[in-house]
Chains A and B, each alone.
Chain A
Amino acid sequence: MPATDYQASFLGRISIRRNQVIAMDGNHEQELQDLELFSKHVSERFAELLSSPDDVPFDALLSISWLRKLLDFFLCCEAEFKGILMMGNDPSQISKPPLDRLIPEFLDRSVKALDVCNAVTNGLESVRHYQKLAEIVVSALEQKPIGDGQSRRAKKTLTSLISAMNVDDKECSAAKATERSWSFSRRGVSSKDRVPEHFRSVSNHVAKNWSAAKQIQAMTNNLVPPRGAEGSGLASPVYTMSVIMVFVMWALVAAIPCQERNGLSAIHFPAPKQLNWAQSIIGLHEKIGEEWKKKEKKGTAGLLDEMQKMEKLGNILMDFTDSFQFHGDITDQKAEEAAAHAAELAEPCRRMEEGLLPLQMQIREVFHRIVKTRTELLNALDQVGKSSPPLL
């Protein structure tokens, strides 16, 4: 979108406001400038995320590095948002309508976001497990010449990997210790390829009956764009930040295995397209939402780019190991292909090895940041409450 459009529409809104507001002092001018800058930055940042090229795997949509960028931008927006809200010349604003209603709603959303952060952190443990399994597959198929034993080894691990990644949310959240008691009733069945046992599911829940989808749905409660005169005041950054927060949490849940995600694609953002900063977010939401709908039916661990690559290559390699066993031996060409795929599989493994821990730490940073801002806002509300006695 050309920048001039953006400016024109923004200035348009300001001029409307100018007519409404009789006197506008310097503070207001400053505030308006800050708001303008804020939504400009939001717009730029998310446009960058939307334009992530799919052909550069490193920065692809929902790749680890993309998510890290997303979280980086979240932290930047958050810092700016807090600046606008707290550094303003009139701190008592946050206790006056409409902020007296919007801020508590925002804080409520923040708390919900914290639980999402924790659910996603748990989910990353599963991703770590997939990575380890995929690494075993790679090391099995790297061996030259590839023989039946290594093919079996790869197949066994691939079975674990694929079934772990295809666990749908229901199973995920219902996986209780009892169901996973390591039973060996199958012993004696003379099967060369027993279903592998080292299958780990998301067992550390946020809480019983907790649902990521419901949580995010609840975050969108009362989330409506400010109307009329509210649109030019502090209500607008609160709304913007809320949308960003909901979107970031939604994207994380879509990407990373998480407790209960049924209905994730049904979540709509009440972000009107005419708001410039929202366009890229809406674009991203649509793009990811489409992906999710495609995968949701099959049941998926998540849309994380590296995981999807793993899944795709895993299936190819699974076919290879099947045909290996079926034919007993394999042509050199097939073997080379398999080796090439294995080498390809090593790539997402490597990126996970490099990126998962930093991602986990960054999610934790987001967590702490949200906590901190919440505390500061509560303190500010408290201060305002103390300094201005209630009008009785």
Chain B
Amino acid sequence: MDGCQSGVPTYEGDLHVVAAAHHIVKALGATKNLSDDLRKILIDLDSHLSMITSNIDSKGGRGLVDVEERLDQAERKIMRWETDPMMIWDSGPKEASDYLEAVDETGKLVDGLRGLSVHENRKQKEILHRAMNILQMAMSRLEEELIHILVRHGQQFEPKHMYSRSIRKDIVYDESFVSVEDEPIKETSSRNYSNDESGECIVDLVHADVIPDIKSIAKVMFSSNYGPEFCEAFISVQKEALEQYFSFLGTENLSIEDVLKMEWTCLSSKMNKWTWSMKIIVRVYLASEKQLCDQVLGGLGSVSSYCFLEISKATILCLLNFGEAVAMGPHRPEKLLRLLDMYETLACLLRDIDTLFSEEAGSFIQLQFHELLERLGESAIAAFEAFRVAISSNGSLYPFAGGGVHPLNKYVMNYIRMFPEYCNTLNLLLKNQHPGVADQVTEPDYGLDASLLTSCPMAYHLRSITSCLESNLHKKSQLYKDEALQHIFLMNNIHYLVQKVKGSELRLFFGDEWIRKHNAMFQQHAMNYERATWSSVVSFLKDDNPGSSSMSKSTFKERCKGFSVAFEEVYKTQTSWSIPDPELREDLRISTSLKVVLAYRTFLGRNLAYTDDKCVKHTVEHVENSLLDLFEGSSRSLRNSRRW
């Protein structure tokens, strides 16, 4: 500026100032959101500066000497590193900033020289070419440095602290039901991830300390028109890092064919893993990647989102393809919960995806997400239907020994016990399945309004599933020849059903009315059992002529014998029957006892005269005690054991 003020313009000064000003104007002009006024001023300024440069040009080449000197200086700094085995940014911040300064200087000189008209001045042309050559060398070097920094300071993060992995046990539909156990399933703990818990989980994919370095490299490369090189290098490294992380999560690429052929246990664990990886990749990794792109490339228009898309697209598509493959597969009932997991994961990631890929180019990815969500929903519904079909079509050739709780019942009840966790999703998906229950969708907040819960689509479907189950159990009960055992079987199973409903959140969906009705049902079966078994036994003890004081001895003997034989027969058969629930067993024994023991005591009391006779095989106490052996599931006999 001194030169200008003194009125004796030195060419070097002019060239310097003009080049710098030109540079600034250009940089400002590249800013996106400028007001029209400001843009016009900049354009004017640009043409004005061009005028000045041509003025200098016409005055002669003295300035070039200085330019050459400055270029020499920059070249020395840049060339020094060409033979140095060390990486510049590893050598220290001073080295790095010196280098950047030299590159910047070269860039300015190139800009300045370009601004001059070069048609005639051969010397000037030579210097420009030399400067551009140096610049190319430097850019090539910066690209290497960039890759080196990204690789060296790239950070992997351990995903484990972010999500507890689902450890829920699988319930497999299996015709033999060998896998069904009635253990309480560790539930809920695995699903307690909340949507916002992970929302803030942004990590540094590249160490925060080197972000300014990367930014400065981006800045100088973009201002020298080497932006595309920067992007390609950046994308390559980051894309590979993502792929590495992807395999680090243990998610391997599988062809659709492989997935369709996969055995259930394997597929189930892959589905679990997918749910887990999807969340980490989207919520943590991609969110962090997006941040990195924005940090490094923010302010360069759409460059950041372009790079982000290129980095993430392939991995996202890979994840989506697994989902597609799963949704395509056979709709087996056991898939339902895993499918719902996948569906819910995707549904709660949609917002993130829509934000991450908000640009037009990313709409492709958005669309694929939405399509997969729909497909998974359809697939879940199909699996739900398959579940229902499996229940109604489960057939048996032989009666279930002992009349206890049928494995089908256990399987179904333990399975549907988990449905309330998926209440919202199931309601959403089942809404259109039956027009009758279409309109009501409930809030997740159970317990507030129980009557609303009992009328939601899921509740309707739950009740329809148990009614399928009940009719199947009725069919199964017909396989018993013994009517009493039919009732024991139904009593056991309906009791189990009710217990399962009462003991879980299912009760909110089934409602008190249902429970009352089913309580009455199994009680009815208990009564029917008593009638079927004991009426004939007790009939021996009946007083045929209530008027007379006692019966004849022979009649008494005959009655006694008849009773003993019948009782022993019942004892022998029904000790092998089973009532697994101790309370139910106890209740039934008490009520049986009340009926049988009371009748027996009365019978003996009325005929006291004969009671010392040998024909009284069983004492009242003995009968009472023997009744305690019933329904324990192991056959015993009274004939050989004379315990009195």
Contact = CB atoms under 8 A, between A and B. Distances in A.
Contacts of B132: 147-150
Contacts of B134: 149
A351 interface: no
B324 interface: yes
A208 interface: yes
A95 interface: no
Contacts of A157: 229
Interface string B361-391: 1001000100100010000000000000000
Nearest to A358: B364
Contacts, number: 140
A76 interface: no
A112 B239 CA distance: 27
B174 interface: no
A118 B232 contact: no
A210 interface: yes
Interface string A104-119: 0000000110110010
Contacts of B85: 187-188
Nearest to A144: B118
Interface stretch (A3-11, A47-55, A133-141): A133-141
B125 interface: yes
Given A139-B228, A177-B244, A208-B253, A188 B84 contact: yes
B243 A194 contact: no
B328 A184 contact: no
A276 to B, nearest CB: 33
B252 interface: yes
Contact of A112 (B83, B257, B310, B315): B257
B209 to A, nearest CB: 20
A206 B240 contact: no
Nearest to B85: A188
Interface in B261-279: none
Contacts of A204: 243, 253, 314-315, 317-318
Contacts of A203: 239-240, 243, 314
A262 to B, nearest CB: 18
B328 A364 contact: no
A99 B484 CA distance: 52
Nearest to A374: B328
Given A177-B244, A188-B83, A360-B364, A152 B148 contact: no
Contact of B328 (A188, A206, A375): A375
B253 A147 contact: no
Interface in A161-199: 177, 180-182, 184, 187-188, 190, 192, 194, 196-199
A153 B132 CA distance: 10
A107 to B, nearest CB: 10
B622 to A, nearest CB: 54
B133 A361 contact: no
Contacts of A309: none
Interface stretch (A84-92, A122-130, A312-320): A122-130
Contacts of A198: 143, 147, 229, 232-233, 236
Interface in B461-502: none
A200 interface: yes
B143 A371 contact: no
B254 A207 contact: yes
B207 interface: no
Contact of B364 (A118, A210, A361): A361
A17 interface: no
Nearest to A129: B232
B371 A118 contact: no
Interface string B208-241: 0000000000000000010011011101110110
A167 B544 CA distance: 104
A364 B321 CA distance: 11
B147 A197 contact: yes
Nearest to A371: B328
Contact of B143 (A115, A122, A190, A197): A197
Contacts of A150: 132, 136
A153 B129 CA distance: 13
Given A184-B87, A187-B87, A149 B129 contact: yes
Interface string B240-255: 1001100100001111
A145 B228 CA distance: 21
Given A152-B136, A153-B136, A111 B257 contact: yes
B361 to A, nearest CB: 7
Contacts of A357: 361, 364
Given A112-B257, A182-B237, A190-B82, A152 B252 contact: no
Max count, chain A CB within 10 A of own CB: residue among B244, B254, B256, B328: B256
Contacts of A364: 364, 368
A370 to B, nearest CB: 10
A121 interface: yes
A7 to B, nearest CB: 40
A129 B232 CA distance: 8
A147 B128 contact: yes
A147 B110 CA distance: 12
Contacts of A190: 82-83
A207 B258 contact: yes
B253 A136 contact: no
A379 to B, nearest CB: 9
Nearest to B260: A111
Contacts of A41: none
Contact of A132 (B231, B252, B364): B231
Interface in B148-198: 148, 151
Given A148-B133, A152-B136, A156-B140, A115 B257 contact: yes
Contacts of B144: 184, 194, 197
A334 interface: no
B317 A118 contact: yes
A110 to B, nearest CB: 10
Contacts of A361: 364
B244 A139 contact: no
B74 interface: no
Contacts of B553: none
A118 B84 contact: no
A350 interface: no
Interface string B313-326: 11101100100100
B287 interface: no
A360 B314 CA distance: 12
A213 B233 CA distance: 31
A205 interface: yes
Given A184-B87, A203-B243, A115 B256 contact: yes
A145 B243 CA distance: 42
A287 interface: no
Contacts of A135: 228
Nearest to A135: B228
Contact of B148 (A182, A360, A371): A182
A368 interface: yes
Contacts of A197: 143-144, 147, 233, 236
Contacts of A368: 371
A118 B228 contact: no
Given A187-B84, A208-B252, 11 more contacts: A111-B260, A136-B232, A139-B225, A149-B133, A149-B136, A152-B133, A152-B136, A203-B243, A203-B314, A204-B315, A208-B253
15 contacts: A111-B256, A111-B257, A112-B257, A135-B228, A136-B228, A139-B228, A145-B125, A149-B131, A177-B240, A182-B148, A187-B84, A188-B83, A190-B82, A197-B143, A197-B147
Closest 5 pairs (CB-CB, A-B): A149-B132, A188-B85, A147-B129, A149-B136, A149-B133
